[in-house]
Structure 1
Amino acid sequence: MRQGSSLKGNFASDIGVASIATGCQVSTLQIQIPNDGDVQTTVTFAGLGWQDKSDGTSYFGTPTDIDGKLRYSFKNVTAISLNGVTGGDGFCVDTFNIQFDNNMQTQRCIGSGSGFAGANIPTTFTPSGQITLSWSKSAYEAWKKTLTGEAMPFSFTLENAEGSYTFNFPSVQVDGDWPDGGNTDIIQVQLNITGSDTPPTITRKAASTPTPAPSGE
């Protein structure tokens, strides 16, 4: 099911001008997990229309804040696994990123009276990303599947005191160059991953609420 939404473009209260993008759908979602600092998320939207007004009012009221107060950082990555091997055991994961791409195509409609797209049509859904591993026997066994095209599982969890998000890719294929480096370099291999056969899932779990201790008599 495709669902469009309206996004607030701008409200310049000093001059009383507001604008809004309508009929927006997600085109791409990218999540970047660094080896230091916060997890970064970039969402790209494709819209079908644009409206503005100059009556001194906004298109939206005051939204209800349902976001959590805590950020996710590289320290909140848990249970990362590639090819059945847990990160930190068979190899160290330095950085990684994932991307979901709906490969959005724009349908123009001549004669509709609109200067904007008539429809934004998602075509093929492509989950992909990159992961950088320290070079080891387990990393070699994952890299070797570059030669055969054999698929493997990849999963990780982002978790803090407010809850968790588990990303599960049951089947990914990899490709990457043979790693190289000098005597004082940390040898790493960068693998490009692409989802295959089985769609990935994202599972959100809210933090459990502690059961209050029974009060004394």
Structure 2
Amino acid sequence: MSSGAKQLLQIAKETTVGTTPATFARQTLAFTEVSLNQSVDKTESASIVDNRLQQASMITGAEYSGDIKAEAQYGAYDDLFAGAAFNNWTTNVLTFGGTTRQTFSALLGYTDIENYHTFAGLHVNTLDITIPDSGLITFGFGFMGMKRTPASVAPAGTITPALTTPRMSNVSVGDILVDGVSVKGKACISSFSFKWDNSMQVQKCLGSGLEIAAILETVAKGTGNFEMAWATESAKIYEKQFTNATISLSIPITDTLGNKYVLFIPKVELKASLATGGNSDILKSSFEYTVVEQAPTITRTPVVVSP
């Protein structure tokens, strides 16, 4: 029997897609949930024999996929952000929708029963950033991989401990900008989410066995939603959907040490409904948005410590 507190998750960037580095130096990741898994496709037999019993099925394929969910920390998941964006950080700015493929090998371990699984060729298919009205900000990463190797002993390699930068919460969010202008005092955004989806598909090839030959990205999609208290400013934003006018969004998040991320989405189309509620409710409306035409960016600013 295994304890949930004895799980570990460690990750390393690959230099060759689908190949775990020979020197498996890896970074420990903090997480709240992990669902990395191998599943198999089976085809039932249609053979007729001299009885009415179903014949055994045959395994005809496999899938390696799953999610990692984590509490937001500055710097802890920047490599995974870059994998989702298909780009590199350039002068601390990451632009989504690039063409630079970055893949990972991950070790999922159950240390109390000495059971370990190395997933290789992990592509970051989806990224989720969720900011609640009260609570910790969360990051979510959805993976598609190419193979899995089980073992009873953890692979050799240098292990870097998990980062200890402070977690980020709804209190970490700074002055939100809509079209470059602060909404403070005019409107109240109470929650916010952003999702990036690379719409990846598996390429199957004969001769690869149960391993995946390639994973290909298709159209990139950015979506999300935010809730606003109903006010004159939110009513103006609501009207924009009827002319298909776009807005920009800028969401700054700063931890207690001063490390900062800014998610900037230059153009989104909106969909929303009028506010409804009872006589004891604070009226609010939910806005859904779709990223169009221009790529979102994340800018990171590490705190500068004076000597």
Equivalent position to 1:81, from 177, 190, 194? 177
Q: Could you tell me which residue of structure 2 aligns to residue 49 of structure 1?
A: 147
Q: Could you tell me which residue of structure 2 aligns to residue 131 of structure 1?
A: 226
Distance 1:117 1:9, change over 3 A: same
In 2, are the aligned partners of 1:85 and 1:138 still within 8 Å (CA)? Answer: no
Q: Note if 1:65 corresponds to 2:164.
A: no
Q: Could you tell me which residue of structure 2 aligns to residue 116 of structure 1?
A: 211
Per-residue deviation, 1:62: 4.9
Per-residue deviation, 1:11: 4.3
Pairwise mapping of residues 203-214 of structure 1 onto structure 2 (< 5 A)?
203-210=299-306, 212=307
Q: Which residue identity is paired with 2:299?
A: T
Per-residue deviation, 1:64: 1.6
In 1, are the aligned partners of 2:200 and 2:218 still within 8 Å (CA)? Answer: yes
Cα RMSD of the aligned pairs, angstroms, is: 1.7
Q: Could you tell me which residue of structure 2 aligns to residue 30 of structure 1?
A: 128
Q: Note if 1:165 corresponds to 2:273.
A: no
Per-residue deviation, 1:92: 0.7
Q: Could you tell me which residue of structure 2 aligns to residue 215 of structure 1?
A: none
In 2, are the aligned partners of 1:33 and 1:95 still within 8 Å (CA)? Answer: yes
Equivalent position to 1:149, from 241, 244, 266? 244
Partners of 1:142 and 1:49 in 2: how far apart?
A: 47
State the identity as a percent. 26
Pairwise mapping of residues 97-108 of structure 1 onto structure 2 (< 5 A)?
97-108=193-204
Q: Unpaired runs of 5+ in structure 1?
A: 213-217
Partners of 1:204 and 1:152 in 2: how far apart?
A: 22
Equivalent position to 1:200, from 285, 296, 305? 296
Partners of 1:192 and 1:106 in 2: how far apart?
A: 29
Q: Could you tell me which residue of structure 2 aligns to residue 189 of structure 1?
A: 285
SS of residue in 1 equivalent to 2:160: coil
Distance 1:186 1:115, change over 3 A: same
Per-residue deviation, 1:61: 3.7
